[in-house]
Structure 1
Amino acid sequence: MSSGVTASPDQVSLGVLMAAVDRDVIDAAVAACGVGAKRSDGKLPPHVVVYLTMALCLFPDDDYEEVATKVTGSLSRFGCWNASWTVPTASGITQARKRVGRTVMAEVFDGVAGVVATSDTRGAWLRRWRLLAIDGFEVDLPDTPANATEFGYAGSGRHRSAYPKARVVALAECGTHAFLAAEVGPYAVGEQTLAQRLYPRLRGDELLTADRNFYSWAAWDTAAATGAALLWRAPTQLNLPVVAVLPDGTYLTVLINPKVRGAGRRRQILAAAEAGHDIHPDEAHLVRVVEYDVPDREGNGTGDLIVLLSSITDSTQARPDELAAAYHERWEEETADDQLTTHLRGPGKIFRSRLPDLVHQEIWAWLTVHYALSVLIARAAEAADLDPDRISYSRVLRLTRRTATGTAGFSPSRLD
């Protein structure tokens, strides 16, 4: 991201989290998961634990008690905190997190992670479609027996990773970098498996971009069934027969279900497509292919051939150059991943949580904090008529951390 533009200090605080994560959303998540507040919870009822867990993600370098001190230390002057209240111990915070469990933060994320890009958001659209990308990343976890059992390691033997790893696959808006949905699983569960659980969440006004490792017949079929537009890079081994060449130089092909057996039936499907007849979606999909070269930086002729598959078969709805440009917006999710792992979490850092339930809780809190900051950046960019890429994520994060002390708006004694 460019470091030339940022938000002003009065725009950012822990109040960013309060604004993005309404108390009603938390209460609904707590109720849905059956972990409602009890008198025995004392100073750490569930809604406080949720905000505190997000604060732990905002301050990954600080221990539990320091984070609790930072976000509650001066609340008494706002009249919303009992001056006699003492900061809970690390053990007390851990026990409170255990009471909340693994699912509440996932429910909270689902409750807040709505569409961020508007018609005024620069770089977020291809004509009528809001651009999304899907990608995956790994999370290093504390090397405890429980985490190792649930999440596993990368590699084996002498080549085994130093820490257990969780795998996350997420859908993100290209224009705002906001994660809209995610799936979390053990390292052994592949990206395609987790992605398959996300495709049904697509909408008809969205265009999903994906790299070639996400392609399979089942993946395309599931995603296409939602009505969303698709723009995926084709794997190199995919057979793409030419059905018709379009005036703009792109061509139509068919993706045939591997379950369709027999060369005769496959020839029938291809002939039907060539004749312009409908083909049954259980057997095949008609798609448009865009091919272009990306030259190498050194100019020695080792450039890359990009082959894109798109469900937008009508060439009047999107030109080839528009589709090529939209596909390269997919790299914006790489930026979102970097914001999470390099800036918000810190390079090379492992998570705090030594138990699987708390790992899940921490991952969802981490995604929620990133979402809140993405919303802030998107709104600031719109107000200044800028692309959100022009606003420095690292500066907004620094300002948020700097101004977080004493700005939380929740009380540990409220049980209603």
Structure 2
Amino acid sequence: MTTTISYEQAKAYYEQWGVNVDLALKQLNQIPISIHCWQGDDISGFETIKSELSGGIDVTGNYPGKARNGDELRSDLEKALSLIPGKHRVNLHAIYAETNGQFVDRDEILPEHFAKWVDWAKQNGLGLDFNPTLFSHEKANDGLTLSHPDEHIRQFWIDHCIASRKIGEYFGKELGTPCLTNIWIPDGYKDIPSDRLTPRVRLKESLDTIFEYKTDEKYNIDAVESKLFGLGSESYVVGSHEFYLSYAQQNNKLCLLDTGHFHPTETISNKISTMLLFNEKVALHVSRPVRWDSDHVVILDDELKEIALEIVRNNAIERVLIGLDFFDASINRIAAWIIGTRNMIKALLYALLIPHNYLKELQEQGNFTERLALIEEFKTYPFGAIWDHYCEISNVPIREKWLQEVQIYEKDILSKR
């Protein structure tokens, strides 16, 4: 089955507005999405001593076939990547170190514990990103890490973050593409604090110590991630948006925006243009909050489209680093990766097919009638035919046909775990 005829017809619709569809597809093919490994095993990791999931994070569901080790997780990722158009990245957490069954605490992890990941990434032409894991550990049981009043606990997590940044630099050197090493902490209080400042002073001092160790920015890019509230930190989070935005700008770090880390009525799409005005680059973790930071699988909703529109219309494709962050154990985990990642790519394609310059001119002219009319009409332009063509030339299944391959993989592989 070919989509050439429908593609050519759809292409004509867009080109009458000056949209270069072929160029849009080339641009789309150059945008890597950093796909999070933790969807495949419910953020379990490979540590020899398992801790309960904590830090305000929860994964619900018990769908069969969860990855139990590095080989299974990499196999599952390969299957997902084979059904997603484009060339992408994989995002790791520190808990995915492979230590040959030996106990290695997080402050002692080394690049060699991720050698299998690097070899696999080389074989598949992938970049790797990284995150220190400051949750699900006995030294994070009270919900405090880098802002902890206990100096020894703070130092443990400082050492963990420094070790993680060294690993990120190792990834960049080995793979020839810089690693984004992102620090997020769960620190906060369930009830209203009597002192908001002191924990933030400690967090700033901890971060300053972490970043005293210099890594080469050609290989490692540092980012810090904010949050508004979480389970167990409903009233106060130490690393708020204002804290990390200020810290990032003062210290030449990237500020990472997670779509689930703000008030339920607040959107990050509206923040992107402002962030780009004052920052060279911005990093994203794209998720789908439903009631709180629930990290549902990304769907092609209005906010996802708006995020992509802000990236494309502001010529920021190379300035916004896009990662995903969701986890759902109630459905096939590989399907979750594919659905979410394909939707992120669809949103970017949708944005690339809009005549932004003309719409900007209409706004400057005050011609809001034509602007609104065109924005609404483009919502029903034959976008699907362009998407099908992109999948076809990328040698991945069009439309829902990818689901058949996942079902076969589930029957042959996942059901036997």
Normalised by the length of structure 2, the TM-score is: 0.29
| Larger strand fraction of residues | 1
Q: Which has the larger radius of gyration?
A: 1
Normalised by the length of structure 1, the TM-score is: 0.29
| Larger helix fraction of residues | 2
Q: Using CA pairs below 8 Å that are at least 6 residues apart, which structure has the higher relative contact order?
A: 1
